[in-house]
Amino acid sequence: MVQNTGESHHEPQAMNANRSQRHSFVILFLLAMPYRVEAQTEAPKKVDADRLGMTCAQVLKMSSTEWIAYFGVTTKMDRSVRTVRAAASYGRCYEARTDDLARAVARSGKGPSKAAHADFDAFEAAVKNFTAKALVDAEPPANIEKQALATLYEDQFRYEFYQNYQAKGVRGPNAAKAPPPSPSAPPAKDATPASPGPPPASAPNDADAMTTAKNRFGELLGALPDDKLHELHGAFGEVLGLHALDEAMRFAVYRYAIFLLEPSGEDSTYPPPF
């Protein structure tokens, strides 16, 4: 009886010791977890090699044209390769700046409403649809350099959308559908194309600049076969006719459309504006 009592007395002690060890192990494991997570969070971000050791702020101090030229001189790459890579790296910086602007506008409480966001998303989708068609239907079809620049050029619309709210400091216009602006009607095939005229910088006022852009756009459409002409005119109407855009944005859309349709390799009437 005495021997049995001794065994029953030591067994609970051993069990308690084991529990204490397990609890100590669990506590140490839990204490180690935050450190491991923090260490992972603080891992250095991957540097974009195509920024050539520069920050995005330094890259964006140049225009895209200046950056592409600098990238070519520095890397000595083939023209097509350097244009594509330089445009892509510039675009990543431009998008990052746009994201920062969007967050700042949202924090201000004076950014676009949900309806305005939805309208802009639909506008962007229409722009992408027109872009895809224009790059293929242009005479001749856009080369790889033109496609890279078109992707970069398109970034302006999202930036200007948020910049408009930042500048005004108000919620902005309703996203209700604007009355159709009647984009340039498809020109008759036997009509004499309008002269493209000087670039907007030489125009005496904004109305003349818009007229010049519309005439140039009509000229480029008129040079296309009928099937492509009507396809692109319809896609362009979806960009302008269904969305709430101010005159500055409409003008930007015309500039962009002209850039897409002008032959690759030629000096553009409206090169990327940034």
Instruction: Provide the residue ranges of all domains of the chain, joining segments of one domain with +.
Output: 114-143+174-274
Q: How far is CA 181 from CA 177, 243, 260, in A?
A: 11, 10, 21
Identify the pLDDT of residue 102: 94
Identify the pLDDT of residue 109: 87
In contact, 259 and 153? CB cutoff 8 Å: yes
On the CB side of 148, CA atoms within 13 Å amount to 20
Identify the pLDDT of residue 176: 34
In contact, 183 and 215? CB cutoff 8 Å: no
93 burial via Cβ count (<10 Å: 0-12, 13-18, 19+): buried
Token pair 């603080």 in the structure block, residue: 42
Can you tell me the distance from the alpha carbon of 230 to that of 101, in angstroms, rounded to the nearest whole number? 37
Tokens of 210: 């818009």
Identify the pLDDT of residue 43: 52
Can you tell me the distance from the alpha carbon of 135 to that of 257, in angstroms, rounded to the nearest whole number? 10
pLDDT digits (tens, 9 = 90+) for 93-135: 999 999 999 999 999 888 899 999 999 999 999 999 999 999 9
Identify the pLDDT of residue 195: 32
Can you tell me the distance from the alpha carbon of 62 to that of 90, in angstroms, rounded to the nearest whole number? 10
Token pair 């960009």 in the structure block, residue: 239
Q: How far is CA 119 from CA 122, 192, 253, in A?
A: 5, 37, 16
Identify the pLDDT of residue 21: 53
First to last CA, the chain: 96
Beta-carbon contacts of 147 under 8 Å, excluding residues fewer than 6 positions away, are 135
Angle between helices 247-261 and 206-222 (to 10 degrees): 30
Identify the pLDDT of residue 76: 92
| Residues comprising the chain, all counted | 274
- Low-confidence stretches of the chain (pLDDT < 70) are 1-45, 168-205
In contact, 145 and 83? CB cutoff 8 Å: yes
Please compute Rg for the chain using Cα positions: 30
